[in-house]
Chain A
Amino acid sequence: MSAQAGLEGYFDVDIEEQRKDESHFETRAFLPLIGMIARHRAPLFSGFLMVIVATVATLLEPWLFGRAIDEAMVPGDWPKLQRFALVYFSVVGLRVFSTIGQSYLFELLGQRVTHELRSDLFSRLLRLPTSVYDKTPAGRLLTRVTNDVASLAEMFSAGFVSILSNALLVIGILVCLVVMDRKVGLIAASVFPGLMLLGAYFSSKLRVAYREARSKLSALNAFLAENLLGMKVVQLFNREELHLSRFNRINNWYADAQIGTIRIFALFQPAITIFAGLSAALVIVFGGAATRNGSMKLGVLVTFFSLVLTLFQPVRELADKWNVFLSGMASAERIFSVLSWPVETEAASAEVKPIAGLKGEIVFEDVWFAYEGEHWILRGLSVAIPAGSRIGVVGHTGAGKTTLISLLMRFYEPQRGRILIDGKDIRDYDKHALRASIGIIQQDVFLFSGSLQENVTLWGPPDDRKGDNKNVHEALALVDFDKGELQERGTNLSMGERQVLAFSRALAADPAIWILDEATANMDSQTEGRLGESLARAAHGQTTLLIAHRLATVRSADRILVLHKGTLVEQGDHAQLMAANGLYARLYRFQEAAL
């Protein structure tokens, strides 16, 4: 590793991944996978059948050729030869058909199983508690759903079929050789154990070489990506040449690693050639002699030539595909490990209905919360919010405003204290119904790629324009801008439009409690006025929490809560707080003076 001095940083990217990629696999993933496969009986069994038919047909062909020689050509029986040709032709047809069938059926099986796994994995990922998302980079989870499932699918389509059919073929050939002529068959097959050892040896060599190449490639990519990101710095410090020479160093390592795998194949392939030559030579000597003295028929000799030479391709395939199988199993293991993480309960149905008849009285009782350890974000917060009131929540970044909302929506559970809605502990409500009852409008609206309507209703029932659902109708009427398809980053929407969208989204959900999290920060006054009206109408008589950094937004609230480091330091309406001349008043003056 000393050759990598100074570049270690690029080499340990996927230590976790690599460790799991080791040669052995654990039954932990194997058994549930078998269980999933077993559920798809039709493709599984018909696929097996096809494999067997194909193998038998493959063995029959040279045998028929040999029989044709012995029974038709040597005696000169022309009609019989025609019959043989016909049978041969049908066997060929059968083999071709079943070969196509086996790979299609196993592909079908693999696709079904991986589809199930992928869907299952996806829905479980969405139900992971929010705290997991704070700790685990989304990229790693993404890899599970995409790459790992893909490598598992490859195991089915390439690894599985190949291993199965090639192994059967090898066994079939060996059996045929021995059955057709025990002595010559055993002699010809005598090279086989050596070949197997060779295959196993190269297979393990290949695995190491593949891993080496993969790790070099990911280091190369990591290095290049980082340099492209920091190109300005590289250029400002005149380091282009130096970095280029480092790049070339890793680039050379990668080329060496690639050549390493090539060398293995370059040795393996000729080794097989020599083995094949040896066993063909054995057949010539012993089979030839046996045929001349009449103890072996000529057709059998010809069949032997064919069989002995087809023995070697499957061995090569096995050595190569075994690695596909292993890496598929390693992926399976990683997938099943994610599947075993605890998740939130599933919603009863896709259409989650808000809690009926919620009045919206909210009480925080001595709530303590820390994301980690003793690092308290909320320290004994107690506050009662009467149903139907408009409440402003202000304070600095880190004061606990957003945490308050996260707890209310049960993204996290407080360590101490409890939160009540309409006098009932929120833990006693259905989590999904509770969330559906709270309409949240955030400053940075997250856009999903798709149409505007989908983004407003979040794939809810489409608006039939008859106005069955008053809110959806109104929400869609608000987003009157014509933008076609949206992209995730929403570059084709202005900030103002994005906020209108955020508001419509909440409106369409028809909530009982409204939360506006910095929601009007980037709105022009005209839009703000229009939304204000809509909100006033929609949220009339409903509890509304306005979280704001900009105090002008909360001036008109019935009551303003001033948070500081997780505690409530002041509360009252604007006039009262200004008169008190405390934190709120100072914050206010500061913002008034802003440019």
Chain B
Amino acid sequence: MLKKIRARLNGILEESAVLRHYFWKYRRWVGVGFAALLMVDALEVVPPLLMMAAVDLALGKPVVISHTHWSPSFSGLAWTYIGVSFLQAIGRYGWRMYLIRAGVLAGRDMRGGFARHLFGLGASFFDRTPIGALMSLSTNDVEAVRNMIGAGFLTMADSLIYFMTVPVAMWMLSPKLTLIAFIPLPFLPWIIRRNEREIHQRFEKVQECFGDLSAMTQESLNGVRVLKAFSKEEVQSRRFKALGERYVRLNLKLAVVQSAFGPTLDFAMSLGMVFLLIVGGRMVISQHGSGGTEAITLGVFVAFQRYIQKMVWPMAAFGVSLGIYERAVSSSERIKKIENERTDVPEAAQTELPRGALPGGPWKAEGRIEFRNLSFRFPRSEREVLRGISLSIEPGERVAFVGTIGSGKSALLSLLPRLYLVSDGMLWIDGVDVNRWPLKELRRQVGYVGQEVFLFSESVMENIAYGLQERSLVPAQRECAVQRASELVHVHGEVSGFVSAYATRVGERGVSVSGGQKQRLTVARAIVQEPPILVLDDALSAVDVQTEARLLEGLRSRPGRNTELIAAHRISTVRDADRIVVLDHGQIVQTGAHQKLISEKDGIYWRFCQQQRFEEELVEYERGLGEGVLV
């Protein structure tokens, strides 16, 4: 038994670690709030006594409180009452402002800490974790924890303090009546807990059904064309209605326990009142006669009426706060699980920089890149997406990568800025293993543009100047750099044509821009910070061929340029590269300049060119069609 208790206590200590951390952090606030609470609850003793005095005074009886005789006046009582109310008002203000605010601040800190942790996790974590789940952690679960730190702790402390003060006063008035009044109370926390659980379970079911309703609505809205094509609108509406009826039933089941909850507590309290009426009434009557039972005045009777009425809430609150506590614990465990995740591309224990380079300084890498028998698989995957890649890229070279979808181009390029982890000794930049580079420094040197374009919901200016924050530039310099970059990628003209030019907001919540424009903006974003190594992973696929050719030509003279790695699906993109690397099933199958590769008849690259030739012919023909030459 003792062992069990000790185990449970240890369990509580362990599960409440997060909560205790924040209590300690905000101990001053919690302390002040607690003191205010203490004052309010201690003063709760007084008003019933004042009413008792008023009643006895009205009856012309002596006012006796713990064997001391008082001779108050009505106005004295009234002023005391007002004074006590005033003090209580101050206390109530205090505990709300201090205790609940501490909860809000703790919630804020938790959210901030959670976000900080997320910002430090590697790409592979985000590949496998749905964003919705993380969002729900940062809102619902954080909210559950902060609710415990604020309201939960408050109600818990409130009821504990209340039961340490008020019963003392009651006992002093009449021990017997106190016992009588307490008869229904011990069952309350038990009833409340059971009810809490029942409500919680039924509520979960309601929530689940609500989720089903939302899912069905979403699914139907997404598939509305299918439903229409098969004339199944009516069928689906009936299914929805049936599910809705189930939802109603579950809600009503919840309503049964929920609507009974408050009144049940109320009933328990009222039972105390009935006992008071009988037992206390008997005691009042016996004060006139000679009855053997303990006698009380009417004033005491009235005071007890008030005390009992006030007792239910703290009792109920205690049960409720236990529920809040349970939820906070399970939420903090869910959060902890994510906080235990570690990034898969951590900083090396001992970082290293190429010779002569100063960390954080304005130096540029030479851009010598070496793949040494590199093989790679994505985390938690069995399949090798790259095998035996050996390749050496000299500073100043432009190397293009060609291959079908799944040939490993993207995986290869994503290793350069260390988005994913590659084993030691396989990838070297300027003679330093990529894993030994300080991560920030590496990413400063490698400008990487991936396939998925992502713009933030900010202005074009902010989006392009994205990488400039480390260089403290005055606004004019910034604008100048942004404009230069956007001229280089041939998007300046189009941006100037937007309604608010560079101030136009883009991204998810901004105006929609075409795929080609988006791609060029992301390239501009990468080159504005003038990285010596530029990696374009199929980053120009939606840009038309002519613009692309001019853009690529322009990039050769971009400031700070050294090495370029470009993956593409179009011959036009790669034709002018210094070297072309053809990948197939994760291996290098051909390397060389365009002229050399095209001479290897029936090679992958040759076939690739063939196809493009037909495509060009087709496009040419279609252009003729479009202009009405052939119609």
Contacts and interface: CB of A to CB of B under 8 A. Distances in A.
B604 A569 contact: no
Contacts of B134: 224, 228
B267 A92 contact: yes
A583 B101 contact: no
B293 to A, nearest CB: 12
Interface in A233-280: 233-240, 242-244, 247-248, 251-252, 254-255, 258-259, 262-263, 265-267, 269-271, 273-274, 276-278, 280
A130 B228 contact: yes
A85 B279 CA distance: 10
B214 A142 contact: yes
A391 interface: no
Interface in A62-100: 65, 68-69, 72-74, 76-78, 81-82, 84-85, 88-89, 92-93, 95-96, 99-100
Interface string B250-282: 011001101110111011001101100110011
Given A69-B298, A107-B255, A270 B89 contact: yes
A288 B139 contact: no
Interface string B588-628: 00000000000000001001101101110110011001100
Interface string B545-581: 0000000000000000000000000000000000000
B278 A82 contact: yes
B77 interface: yes
Contact of A277 (B60, B82, B230, B263): B82
Given A100-B260, A292-B58, A435 B239 contact: no
Nearest to A396: B622
Interface in B498-525: 505, 507-510, 525
Interface stretch (A21-29, A328-336, A585-593): A585-593
A92 B273 contact: yes
Interface residues of B, number: 150
Interface in A209-229: 217, 220-222, 224-229
A302 B93 contact: no
Contacts of B45: none
**SS of B interface (majority):** helix
Given A123-B234, A270-B89, A76 B289 contact: yes
A88 B77 contact: no
Interface stretch (B299-307, B393-401, B481-489): B299-307
B93 A267 contact: yes
B81 A595 contact: no
A141 interface: yes
Contacts of A350: 234-235, 238
Contact of A133 (B224, B510, B610): B224
A526 B291 CA distance: 103
A36 B271 CA distance: 40
Contact of B100 (A13, A93, A262, A432): A262
Considering residues A10, A73, A254, which has the most beta carbons from chain B within 10 angstroms of its beta carbon? A73
B86 A277 contact: yes
B451 to A, nearest CB: 11
Interface string A423-462: 0000000001101101010000010110000000011100
Contacts of A107: 251-252, 255, 259
B609 to A, nearest CB: 10
A288 B104 contact: no
Interface stretch (A110-118, A359-367, A474-482): A110-118
Given A141-B221, A142-B217, A281 B82 contact: yes
A285 B466 CA distance: 72
Contacts of A104: 252, 255-256, 259
A255 B457 contact: no
Given A126-B220, A277-B82, A285-B74, A146 B281 contact: no
A92 B248 contact: no
A96 B263 contact: yes
B92 A266 contact: yes
**SS of A interface (majority):** helix
B336 interface: no
Nearest to B441: A238
Contacts, number: 417
A352 B443 contact: no
Contacts of B230: 435-436, 458, 505, 509
A285 B462 CA distance: 70
A88 B217 CA distance: 51
A188 interface: no
A203 interface: no
Contacts of B443: 235-238
A422 to B, nearest CB: 19
Interface in B301-325: 301-302, 305-306, 309
Interface string B98-128: 0011001101100110011011110100100
Interface string A297-310: 01001100110010
B432 interface: no
Interface string A549-565: 00000000000000011
A221 B85 contact: no
Contacts of B476: none
Interface stretch (B13-21, B49-57, B164-172, B196-204): B49-57
B401 to A, nearest CB: 16
Contacts of B112: 244, 247-248, 251
A221 B221 contact: no
Contact of B96 (A119, A232, A262): A262
B218 A138 contact: yes
22 contacts: A9-B457, A73-B298, A103-B258, A107-B252, A108-B255, A125-B224, A130-B224, A225-B131, A233-B466, A248-B112, A251-B111, A273-B85, A288-B58, A446-B222, A446-B225, A448-B223, A564-B625, A565-B626, A569-B631, A582-B621, A595-B404, A595-B607
- Which 5 A/B pairs are nearest by Cβ-Cβ distance? A277-B85, A270-B89, A9-B457, A590-B614, A123-B237
Given A278-B82, A284-B74, A352-B232, 17 more contacts: A9-B458, A96-B270, A100-B259, A104-B256, A107-B251, A146-B210, A224-B138, A230-B454, A236-B448, A258-B104, A281-B81, A284-B78, A285-B77, A288-B57, A292-B57, A505-B230, A590-B617
Interface of B: 47, 50-51, 54-55, 57-60, 74-75, 77-79, 81-82, 84-86, 88-90, 92-93, 96-97, 100-101, 104-105, 107-108, 111-112, 115-116, 118-121, 123, 126, 131, 134-135, 138-139, 210, 213-215, 217-241, 244-245, 247-248, 251-252, 255-256, 258-260, 262-264, 266-267, 270-271, 273-274, 277-278, 281-282, 284-285, 288-289, 298, 301-302, 305-306, 309, 404, 417, 419, 440, 443-444, 448, 450, 454, 456-458, 462, 466-467, 469-470, 505, 507-510, 525, 529, 604, 607-608, 610-611, 613-615, 617-618, 621-622, 625-626, 630-631
